[in-house]
A and B are shown apart, each in its own frame.
Chain A
Amino acid sequence: MAQEASSSTSSKTISLKTGDGEIFEIEASAAKQMKTVQRLIDDLGDDITIPLHNVFSKELPKIIEYYKKDITGEITKDFEAEFVKDLNDDEVKVLFLAANYLDANKLFEFLSQNIADRLESKSVEYVRKYFGVENDFTPEEESKLREERAWSFRGIKEDE
């Protein structure tokens, strides 16, 4: 018993339960990187399964994969490129929101950069659709902005 209490956290695994009921295991050192999880561990103890209401079985494995690499210090540009290569826009958004919820800083910054890369050189309409925001400018404001844009970006297609 005493041994258990003093066992190093590096070899311990934490159980995480997603919002749709699945359970995943991660290393305690990886859990440390996700501040929300760490807080829950501190409150609830590291023996019970930590519930994550807003993260689901679709995205959690990917997040775990990222942090598995992180604790061994193997995150390279190639790994990151590979990581996002096959993700479509929706998947990236879901991961991004999950990283925010989990307060997983490194992944959050990496994904925000990736989203920014996806938005670069896209038109206003595309960005609006991506974020799901509606245009709330008045018609006059909208036409003025459009004119300024047409001047600065000659030849850019509005609906790329």
Chain B
Amino acid sequence: MKRKKHSISPTRVTQRCNKAKGKVVDEEESHQLCPYFANIPSHITAQILLQLPIKSLIICRCVCKMWKTLISEPHFAKLHFEKTPVSLMIRTNDHRRVSRTLYLLECEPEKFEIGSDNHVKLQPIFKLPLRDAKSLLHCNRFVLDKNGESSNSGRQGLYSKPDLDKFNIVNSCNGLLCLSDLSTGNPLVVCNPVTGEFIRLPKATITRFRLNTTQVRKKLQTALGFLSKTNEYKVIKMLIRYGFRSNDCESVIVEINTLGTSLWRNVEVDSQLSIPRLKYPTCVNGALHWIGFEGQQMSILCFCLESERFQSFPSPPHVFGNHNNSTYGNTNITMGELKGFLYICDSTCFSDVTMWVMNEYGNGDSWTKLYNIDTLVSSLGRPNLSHCGLCLPVKHFEEGAAVLLYHSCNCFIYYEPDKYGFKVFQIHGSRSDFFEIIPHIPSLISLKDVIKGDNIEVQNIHSRCAKFKLREENETLSLSQPNDEDLERIRRSSSFDFEIINISSDGDMSSSSSDGDISSSSSDGDISSSSSDGVFFYGLII
């Protein structure tokens, strides 16, 4: 392997460098040749690489063999993962098509300086595994030539059937995604989209989870959790039988699988346990949590991954469930994890988006209100219920608040009270109108280092299916601010009015339109001291 000639070897460095190929030259020469980094020890290179975002590391993996090994090393991957902030994986969500492409949006506040004439490309792009490559090939056997390339130049990409080929993304936990069957909810695969590796979960024990009887209504709930104590990932599967006439849960069977093992183990459940409608699985502190909706009541269901038992957990703050005139009241609550804390976001009326954080895990009294974003009521004077948005806080910044609201007109709203106010962003480049946003921490940690035991095969999407292109895979998504026309369209179609507010440095708010105002503190002054931190929300219209 060639290196640039006459590399330097400073005395101390040579002692630690195990690849010192250069000769020790005298001082004068070495000064002239100082800029060449060729022989710096790998741990120094690692120090630089650790500061790079995932995007750049993927590129650096291709620089040379030494770097590829260095970046793929478990120790490096782990260190890097610990420093990586939460990013967003965006997937198109068109029910007619199968999307297996994930676009990464690494959210840094600087990114939100983008204007309407520059588009930030959403990249890199990752792929989810194909559900059933063989059947896909079979369906398309007349389309592909023997190299696997599409020979029909008119048709771009393979034909696929959404219900059979699409994966549902259940949740993201500690760098891995859990994928399930869209219709039954059966968990099928756990994957790391960044490395392209995936594991197929063991097949269910057929007798217990037979889903073909129609007398009793059944629902399968699943989630992926991580227990840092033992460095294990576990997938939980709950089959909930509902009573024929009522919505009440009649019985529940719970099974759990430790990633890497080939069996689903039964979990003992208290027979009195009644499981309401569950949503938003979140793994915090070695336990999985869901919000349970039962009529107007809300509760939090908690499953401890260590003891593998359900345990009681305090309910969300009492203000929830107090929405009078809205039938959508229950479902506009979301839950998630930010910086290791459990949060709940209530966006029942878009006019009043509130976020609560549980500051002390397990302590019901520690629910603290972080934000109360008082946006405007529609120009008609009353909120339009059909347009109520669902807000999912995704990202909590250190220096600024960011509320990312996904509106039916395909836009994100980044809310930052101190510097930017509201900023609206749109995703361009896709034929799909809807997107699914998954908060995810990109990780280079290989699945092989994470699973216990050898009986499960770790597969990689790059090995066989790299050439297959589904129809939507020719799209490139980018993010930009809409111009005035687009903004006008968004305003007109919505029940609320928002505006881009410029907040000057002395705290005065000047608005660009004459309607209403936006205040970032609630009227009862209930903001905790961390209100200067930022939040990124993602909202969905129901």
* Chain A interface residues (CB < 8 Å from chain B): 19-20, 36, 53-54, 56, 89-90, 93-94, 97, 100-101, 103, 108-109, 112-113, 115-117, 119-124, 127-128, 130-137, 145-149, 151-156
Contact B12 A101 (CB under 8 A): yes
CA distance A53 to B56 in the complex (A): 35
Q: Report which residue of A97, A121, A137, A155 has the largest number of chain B beta carbons within 10 angstroms of its beta carbon.
A: A97
Q: Which residues of A contact B380 (CB under 8 A)?
A: none
Q: Which residues of A contact B217 (CB under 8 A)?
A: none
Contact B3 A134 (CB under 8 A): yes
CA distance A103 to B15 in the complex (A): 14
Q: Which residues of A contact B36 (CB under 8 A)?
A: 132
Contact A152 B58 (CB under 8 A): yes
CA distance A142 to B152 in the complex (A): 29
Contact B34 A97 (CB under 8 A): yes
Contact A90 B53 (CB under 8 A): no
CA distance A101 to B8 in the complex (A): 12
- Give the nearest-CB partner of B59 in chain A: A124
Q: Which residues of B contact A108 (CB under 8 A)?
A: 47
Known A19-B27, A56-B31, A148-B462; judge A137-B65 contact (CB<8 A). yes
Contact A112 B4 (CB under 8 A): no
Q: Which residues of A contact B65 (CB under 8 A)?
A: 136-137
Within residues 34 to 54 of chain B, which ones have a CB less than 8 A from any CB in chain A? Answer: 34-38, 40, 44-45, 47-53
- Residues 359-383 of chain B, each 1 if its beta carbon lies under 8 Å from chain A, else 0: 0000000000000000000000000
- Give the nearest-CB partner of B104 in chain A: A152
Choose one: A120, A148, A155; the contact of B476 (CB below 8 Å): A155
- Give the nearest-CB partner of A56 in chain B: B31
Known A120-B56, A149-B59, A154-B476; judge A101-B10 contact (CB<8 A). yes
CA distance A149 to B57 in the complex (A): 12
- Give the nearest-CB partner of B2 in chain A: A134
CA distance A85 to B50 in the complex (A): 22
- Give the nearest-CB partner of A149 in chain B: B62
B505 CB-CB contact with A under 8 Å = no
CA distance A128 to B65 in the complex (A): 12
Contact B4 A132 (CB under 8 A): yes
Other CB < 8 Å A-B pairs besides A116-B52, A154-B123, 12 of them? A53-B10, A93-B35, A97-B34, A120-B53, A127-B59, A127-B60, A131-B37, A133-B64, A135-B64, A145-B62, A147-B466, A154-B125
B319 CB-CB contact with A under 8 Å = no
Contact A90 B62 (CB under 8 A): no
Choose one: A94, A153, A154; the contact of B35 (CB below 8 Å): A94
Q: Which residues of B contact A56 (CB under 8 A)?
A: 31
Choose one: A89, A119, A130, A135; the contact of B52 (CB below 8 Å): A119
Contact B126 A19 (CB under 8 A): no
Q: Which residues of B contact A115 (CB under 8 A)?
A: 48, 51
Contact A130 B10 (CB under 8 A): no
B471 CB-CB contact with A under 8 Å = no
Name 14 interchain pairs, CB-CB below 8 A, sorted by A: A36-B12, A54-B10, A56-B31, A89-B35, A90-B35, A97-B40, A101-B13, A103-B12, A115-B51, A124-B59, A132-B38, A134-B3, A148-B462, A156-B123
Known A132-B36, A149-B62, A152-B125; judge A112-B51 contact (CB<8 A). yes
What is the distance, in angstroms, from B50's C-beta to the closest C-beta of chain A?
8
Known A93-B35, A116-B52, A152-B125; judge A124-B62 contact (CB<8 A). yes
What is the distance, in angstroms, from B194's C-beta to the closest C-beta of chain A?
10
Would you list the 10 A-B pairs with minimal beta carbon distance, nearest first?
A116-B51, A152-B124, A132-B38, A90-B35, A54-B10, A132-B36, A131-B37, A145-B62, A19-B27, A112-B48
What is the distance, in angstroms, from A61's C-beta to the closest C-beta of chain B?
15
CA distance A7 to B40 in the complex (A): 40
Contact B35 A152 (CB under 8 A): no
What is the distance, in angstroms, from B89's C-beta to the closest C-beta of chain A?
13
Q: Which residues of B contact A20 (CB under 8 A)?
A: 27-28, 31
Choose one: B53, B61, B63; the contact of A131 (CB below 8 Å): B63
CA distance A101 to B59 in the complex (A): 28
Known A116-B51, A124-B63, A137-B64; judge A100-B34 contact (CB<8 A). no
- Give the nearest-CB partner of B123 in chain A: A153
Q: Which residues of B contact A145 (CB under 8 A)?
A: 61-62
B261 CB-CB contact with A under 8 Å = no
Choose one: B34, B38, B64, B121; the contact of A94 (CB below 8 Å): B34
What is the distance, in angstroms, from A38's C-beta to the closest C-beta of chain B?
13
Contact B27 A119 (CB under 8 A): no
